[in-house]
């Protein structure tokens, strides 16, 4: 039986653009693009986990808004359920600590990146809602 992993992702919006993060070479799913975030720890709500992950990964504070999407995808290493939320930057500027690079893109440009499979339904929904 495959391991189940619950993760959260931030759809950070600023000036009509969305923050996209490219996974590092040493991470699982190397160099694929994702919405930044991470695993939900025991006892955390998805929103608490997302706030913590953004502080740890990008050294920023964010206000967590409405849920965008929740998708489940089976990878070779486990079954990932990704829940994404619209977020607004409140403190700091995104700083690379784990990712290879970050980009701010308008919703119509999101499909130019090679996304991790679990993130694809969220980016497609964002394109519909924000374009």
CATH number, residue 121? 3.90.79.10
29-75 pLDDT, tens per residue? 999 999 999 999 999 999 999 999 999 999 999 999 999 999 999 99
pLDDT over 90, % of the chain: 96
- pLDDT at position 73 is 96
- pLDDT at position 131 is 75
In what helix (H) or strand (E) does residue 129 lie, and over which residues does it extend?
helix 120-130
Q: Which domain holds residue 43?
A: 4-130
Q: How many helices (H) and strands (E) does the chain have?
A: 2, 7
Q: Kindly report the average pLDDT of the chain as a whole number.
A: 96
Task: Please count the structural domains in the chain.
Answer: 1
Task: HSE, CB side, 13 Å, CA atoms: give it for residue 122.
Answer: 31
14-32 pLDDT, tens per residue? 999 999 999 999 999 999 9
Place of tokens 């119509």: 108
87-124 pLDDT, tens per residue? 999 999 999 999 999 999 999 999 999 999 999 999 99
pLDDT over 70, % of the chain: 100
């Amino acid at each position: 039986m495959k391991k189940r992993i619950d993760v959260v992702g931030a759809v950070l919006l600023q000036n009509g653009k969305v923050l996209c993060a490219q996974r590092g070479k040493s991470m699982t799913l190397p160099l694929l693009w994702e919405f930044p975030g991470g695993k939900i720890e025991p006892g955390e709500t998805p929103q608490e986990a997302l706030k913590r992950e953004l502080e740890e990964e990008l050294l920023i504070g964010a206000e967590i808004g409405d849920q965008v999407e929740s998708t489940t995808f089976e990878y070779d290493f486990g079954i990932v359920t990704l829940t994404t939320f619209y977020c607004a930057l409140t403190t700091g500027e995104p700083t690379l600590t784990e990712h290879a690079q970050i980009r701010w893109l308008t919703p119509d440009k999101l499909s130019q990146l090679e996304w991790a499979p679990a993130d694809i339904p969220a980016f497609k929904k964002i394109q519909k809602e924000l374009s």
